[in-house]
Amino acid sequence: MRTSTLICSLLLGGSTLPIVTFGEDLEVTEGEPESAPEHEIEVEEEEVAAVEIPVLTAPSTDSFLFAETFEGADPFGSGAWKKSSNSKYTGQPVSVTVENDAPYAGDHAVLLSAANQHYGFGSKFSAPLDTTDKPFVVQYEVKLLDGMKCGGAYLKLLRDEPELDVATMDNESPYVIMFGPDSCGDTNKVHFILQHQNPVSLEWEEKHATTPPSPKKDKHSHVYTLAINTDNSFEIFVDLESKSKGSLLEDMKPAVNPPAEIDDPTDSKPSDWVDTKKIKDPEASKPDDWDEDAPKKIPDASAEKPKDWLDSEPDFVPDPDAAVPDDWDEEEDGEWEAPMVSNPKCASVSGCGEWKRPEIENPEYKGKWSAPMIDNPEYKGPWKAKQIPNPNFFEDKAPHNMAKIGAVAVEIWTTSGDIRMDNFIIGDSLSDAQAFAKATWKVKADLEAASEKNKMKDDNKSKRSEMRAEGGLQNKVMAYIGDVSDLAVENPIPAVVTLIVIIFSLILLCTGGGSNSKKASPPRSAQKAEVDEKTPTPSEKKKRTPRAD
């Protein structure tokens, strides 16, 4: 077999590869002889250079109203951040750690290490933040090293009050905004909740965004951003991509502004009010031929028992191959009985045992009789209470002017451990926040993606090394194809040129193209047949040789 034939048969997916002895003339045998020489496909090994792990540092945060990158002195040690002493959070393992493992180093973040734990900690601002007539932006990063099973990773911006103290905070501590991912049971959203005060009743109400986006629950770094504008519009970003937007006046539930009128609490439905629209016809009666006792299904009278039905054979029989266990004690375990198995005689026939007619729908069945429904002549329609002016009505045309914010806090419960939170910023410029995220989160995300890609590449290389170690032409060709595929990803132009050359060469090989191709010597058996065909037999010689006179 010529080399071209071998390659073409390989490419065409032949299930059995021939064993080839490489030389000027290729001899092919079926199967795989023990001493078959192997054709090595040499792949140039890449030199592994030492990889320098980048060290991350946060850029300047001077443009923000508040920022915490957790770099520098331990904020819990300095008192800038405090853990709540409330018994609900007893033993909460919260600390600032530095991530120095690949793909990057020097990343400071607060770590919530334990699963199935309530957490409560925060940082009080040196002065309350006033959002009046200014845009508002809050942003932070989350990395769920254990994924998100059930729990939250959101933050709360606590309301500024005289008694505000993060060291004693709990889940009832008043807040202005609750924002961030939460997933458990039916909840799977990025919360945006605004606590808004009714200036008339002085009550605080939670207003929830009606279309919150879904959270990221993988183990990579993610950044969450909330922007509120002076036109009352808001927008939620996940990894710098806009995922939800709306208006504080139109897209919160319940609405920020209450209705102008409400039901009169003193009004009640009159006792003679009829709101039943339909009633049973009092004049209707059951027909004489209505049989309520008729069954819904009856035996099919037209059915016939199949001729091969075995009435005397049961569906199940004792297993003839079963044997009494060696440790069976009849005195303690009782008389041993073989387990039942399907009767093999029933497998090839229509059925065994007592034959019963199949059931069909009863054409005479009518079911329980009930009087038909008719319009209620006394129906007055649905009753509604009288409307009165809402004593707590107000109209806030600028809900973006939120209450003053006194602290940032994390107050969550989670079944997942190892939650890293980082780069908390609060400001009045969305562009500044996004630029900061590009300089911090985006760098991490890109390095994590590249690391994962390299790990996958290394895993594939390891598998190809195993294929080469196993030997065999097909394994080696597949390993080589994998190497070329990696090259195509890293260096597409040289790979494409190489691929074109290979394809062109294979076309020539598979189609017999090329004027300089050396004609292959025919097999010895063919040569012998050709010689035999040209050499006359003795009888032919007699016929061809004229008789001498």
Render 9-20 in DSSP notation, one character per residue. Answer: HHHTT-SSPPEE
Residue type for position 38: E
Task: Give the burial class of 23: count Cβ atoms within 10 A of its Cβ; 0-12 exposed, 13-18 middle, 19 or more buried.
Answer: exposed
Under 8 Å between Cβ of 147 and 223: no
Closest C-alpha among 42, 48, 14 to residue 30: 14
Task: Give the pLDDT of residue 118.
Answer: 97
pLDDT attached to residue 499: 65
The three-state (H, E, C) secondary structure of 343-372, written as one string: CHHHCCCCCECCCCCCEEECCCCCCCCCCC
427, HSE (Cβ side, Cα atoms, 13 Å): 21
Q: Shortest CA distance to 406 belongs to which of 129, 150, 199, 140?
A: 129
**Contact (CB, 8 A) for 281 and 370:** no
Please choose, from the candidates 152, 66, 165, the residue with its C-alpha nearest in 3D space to the C-alpha of residue 121: 165
How far is residue 58's CA from residue 92's CA, in Å, rounded to a whole number? Answer: 27
The pLDDT, as a whole number, for residue 101 is: 72
Report CA-CA distances (Å) from 45 to 118, 437, 480.
52, 39, 12
The structure's pTM equals 0.66
The angle at the Cα of 452, spanning 465 to 436, to the nearest 5 degrees, equals: 155
Backbone region of residue 242 per phi and psi (left: phi > 0; alpha: psi in -120 to 50; beta: other values):
beta
Q: So what's the pLDDT on residue 536?
A: 53
Rounded Cα–Cα distance for residues 501 and 382 (Å):
82
CA dist 123 and 135 (Å) reads 22
Contact 131, 405 (CB under 8 A): yes
Single out the residue of 328, 310, 427, 312 nearest to residue 62, CA to CA. 427
How many CA atoms lie less than 13 Å away from 128 in the CB half-sphere? 17
Domain 66-258+398-449 sits in CATH at 2.60.120.200
Q: Which of 349, 410, 331 is nearest to 154 (CA)?
A: 410
CA 86 – CA 170 distance, rounded (Å): 7
Parallel, antiparallel or unpaired: strands 359-361 and 297-299? antiparallel
Rg (CA), the chain: 42
H helical segments located in 110-216: none
Q: Which residues contact 403 (CB under 8 A, 6 or more apart)?
A: 159, 160, 176, 195, 197
Reported as type and span, the H/E element at residue 435 is helix 430-439
Q: Tens place of pLDDT for every residue, the chain, 549 residues?
A: 554 454 455 444 444 444 333 344 444 444 444 444 444 444 455 554 556 788 888 889 999 999 999 998 999 999 999 999 999 999 999 999 998 776 888 889 999 999 999 999 999 999 999 999 999 999 999 999 999 999 999 999 999 999 999 999 999 999 999 999 999 999 999 999 999 999 999 999 999 999 999 999 999 999 999 999 999 999 999 999 999 999 999 999 999 999 999 999 999 999 999 999 999 999 999 999 999 999 999 999 999 999 999 999 999 999 999 999 999 998 888 999 999 999 999 999 999 999 999 999 999 999 999 999 999 999 999 999 999 999 999 999 999 999 999 999 999 999 999 999 999 999 999 999 999 999 999 999 999 998 888 878 878 888 888 778 887 777 767 777 777 776 666 677 766 676 676 667 666 666 655 445 444 455 555 454 444 555 555 444 444 444 444
Q: Which amino acid is at 393?
A: F
